[in-house]
Structure 1
Amino acid sequence: MLLHIHGFQRQSNPQPYTLWHSLTPQTRLLCTIIGVFAIALTPNGQWKTWGVYGLAVLFVILLSRTSIPQLLARVAIEFAFVGVVLLGTLFRREGEIVWSWGLIEITDVGLMVLGSVTIKVFLSLLMVNVLTLTTSISSLFQALLALKTPPLLVAIMASMYRYLKVLIDEFTTMRRAAMSRNLMSNKWATRRVIGNMIGALFIRTYQRGERIYQAMLARGYQGLPPIDKLPSYRKRDVFALGLTGVIVVLGQFVSFIIDH
């Protein structure tokens, strides 16, 4: 979520009201967490299980009427960051060698692990981004509190979310000032200036954080975020959680039956 700068700005387009949106925020968060854990903890090579989970993820996407281009754009950005880690799973000593070049060897086990981890990452990113696209950040924080997440951790995430855009704007201003003074004429000068700006930004961040904290204390802040009353669980929420559990078990069961 933090990889998308535009995600920190309130979307102007109204969200459609669907059955997925009618679920409470904590139910949506729980369904997402259960789905991501089921996908990630499935052993490598269980293609049939991921087929079942993939159909379930597609059903959620269609049910929530999430914008497919926007969803894929977010996943593509995040995939660029984890792609290097994914390539590291390809080179393994186990299994039969299918391609080699000097010291570099690719085995069938490496290909299987790479495919498995890629599917896990892709399905998990789809689930998480559907959640963040259909649920406001404030509702997510309140849902975390409702699920007994440590309030201090939620307060840290809320502060980071609220002031990250301020720091980005500060860095943009510093970079624009450096460019107007022709301090970034070549790549070596650019690296030196950006390094100095990062150091200066760290000092400014610390000072701004102290001022904000003192202002919060003056206004009665006690170290805990305010907790709004969230909607209570209804029959549709219980059904959604039960259906999520059934799909998780069904995916493992289908793979077990077919393999045996």
Structure 2
Amino acid sequence: MSTLIHPTAVVHPKAEIHPSVQIGPYAVIGEHVSIGAGSVIDAHVIINGRTTIGQGNRFYPGAAIGLEPQDLKYQGAASLVQIGDRNTFREYTTVNRATAEGEKTIIGNNNLLMAYVHVAHNCVLADNIVIANSVAIAGHVEIESRAVIGGMLGIHQFVHIGKMAMLGGMSRIDRDVPPFMLVEGNPSRVRSLNLVGLKRSGLNRAEMKLLKKAFRTLYSSDLKMSDAIAKLNTLGEHEHLHHLQTFLETALQPERRGLTPGKRS
């Protein structure tokens, strides 16, 4: 194992490091860190706090993982960061641990976080997400699988991003973003279905046709949004349609931040 750890790296003797993990020059690994097989920690990476990392992850130079949240409510609680497998954290990415005792910041599997991405406390990122450079994600944000986040944008705290959504670069995201939609602008708006992303995800023609019907019902009809959402279950039976309807209904609840609007007829 010592041949895979650079002599200038500082690794706490109580850290749990799989023998196959590579740790580069001047990296710092804290006492309560666990890192799974095949992960690569490049130069000047800091991983601290109660942080659990799965297999095959790659941390590029300057990444800072598991440090204290940027939250004035934080009082030194034993909070956590949980990272799955095969994620890539490019240069100077930051992932903060959660705020309260026992809470987690969670990142799933197969995600790409490009340079200078910030993931704040208590965020939950699912799988196969792409986040471009210089994206700032505030606390308690949830991002579902296969979402694509364009560069240099900000996501407000407590916002929920739906699966297979596409967020255009330099947008202001301050309300929930429906699944399968392309959203961009300042203020942001639903512009269309995320057609390119949906095709790349492997949806067949019937599924695409169903989502196009749903889009027209939501954004090109004379129905109130609440009535349009209720009508979605009359379009057919499919898990994507059910997920879209449930997401929209939840986004309109009083405790939520609201729903990103789209052009209505």
Normalising by structure 1, report the TM-score.
0.25
Higher helix share: 1
| Higher RCO (C-alpha 8 Å, min separation 6) | 1
Q: Which structure is larger by alpha-carbon Rg, 1 or 2?
A: 1
TM-score (norm 2): 0.24
